[in-house]
């Protein structure tokens, strides 16, 4: 998925400023897509230049929200209905798990406990976010689909971390931690 489509998706729901979008990427979208402000603002400018979004007044602190145009909505609909999702992923938590054989079992377990607590905290946040959705609103009804996917994914990561902690507990204590 491109940043362009992520931005159009967000702005289609309601006018948003670059700051608002940054908050979304740090909140509900963190488990789906990550973008830095240095990526967001230039892409917003390009979307506006392409006529896919336009400024929608000015908010407090000089924030300028953008709203989607009919052309932007058409581009978003086209993306949603004519292309397949990119299922490739980056998951550093799991990548690190592949390397835990090079550290002592206690260190591996400490890492896994940290991961479990991270996922538990994110899970708590997403559950609270789910409770605040107003499903009488179309954008929130659709957001519920994504939030629930996040909740299920985080629940799975907590279960995985618990399993991995127990699995590592059964590893031999004295092993050569270097490949032969």
pLDDT digits (tens, 9 = 90+) for 52-66: 999 987 777 778 899
Give the model's pLDDT for residue 174: 64
Co-location of 63 and 44 in the same domain: yes
The domain tally of the chain equals 2
- Which residues, listed in sequence order, are joined to residue 96 by a DSSP beta bridge? none
Range of the domain at 113: 92-169
Give the model's pLDDT for residue 1: 54
CATH number at residue 14: 1.10.10.10
Reading the block at residue 127, the tokens are: 């559950």
Give the model's pLDDT for residue 34: 79
Rounded distance between C-alpha atoms, residue 53 and residue 109, angstroms: 48
Q: What percent of the chain stands above pLDDT 70? A: 95
113-131: per-residue pLDDT in tens?
A: 999 999 999 999 999 989 9
Region of poorest pLDDT, from 19-23, 41-45, 107-111: 19-23
Rounded distance between C-alpha atoms, residue 171 and residue 6, angstroms: 43
Co-location of 98 and 155 in the same domain: yes
Instruction: Output the pTM of the full model.
Output: 0.76
Q: Are 71 and 53 in contact (CB under 8 A)?
A: no
Which pLDDT band, with edges at 50, 70 and 90, does 112 fall under?
A: very high
Residue 179 has pLDDT above 90, yes or no: no
Q: Are 66 and 53 in contact (CB under 8 A)?
A: yes
* Torsion angle, alpha carbons of 17, 22, 25, 28, to 10: -70
- Which residues, listed in sequence order, are joined to residue 68 by a DSSP beta bridge? 53
């Amino acid at each position: 998925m491109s940043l362009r489509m992520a931005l159009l998706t967000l702005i289609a729901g309601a006018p948003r400023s670059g700051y608002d979008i940054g908050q979304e990427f740090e909140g509900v979208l963190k488990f789906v897509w990550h973008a830095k402000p240095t990526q967001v603002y230039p892409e917003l400018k390009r979307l506006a230049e392409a006529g896919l979004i336009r400024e929608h007044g000015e908010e407090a602190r000089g924030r300028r929200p953008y709203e989607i145009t009919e052309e932007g909505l058409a581009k978003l609909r086209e993306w949603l209905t004519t292309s397949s999702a990119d299922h490739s992923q980056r998951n550093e938590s799991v990548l690190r798990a592949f390397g835990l054989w090079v550290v002592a079992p206690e260190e591996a377990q400490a890492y896994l406990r940290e991961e479990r607590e991270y996922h538990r905290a994110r899970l708590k946040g997403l559950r609270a976010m789910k409770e605040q959705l107003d499903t009488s609103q179309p954008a929130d009804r659709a957001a519920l689909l994504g939030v629930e996917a996040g909740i299920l994914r985080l629940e799975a990561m907590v279960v995985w971390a618990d399993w991995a902690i127990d699995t590592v507990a059964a590893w031999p204590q004295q092993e050569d931690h270097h490949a032969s």
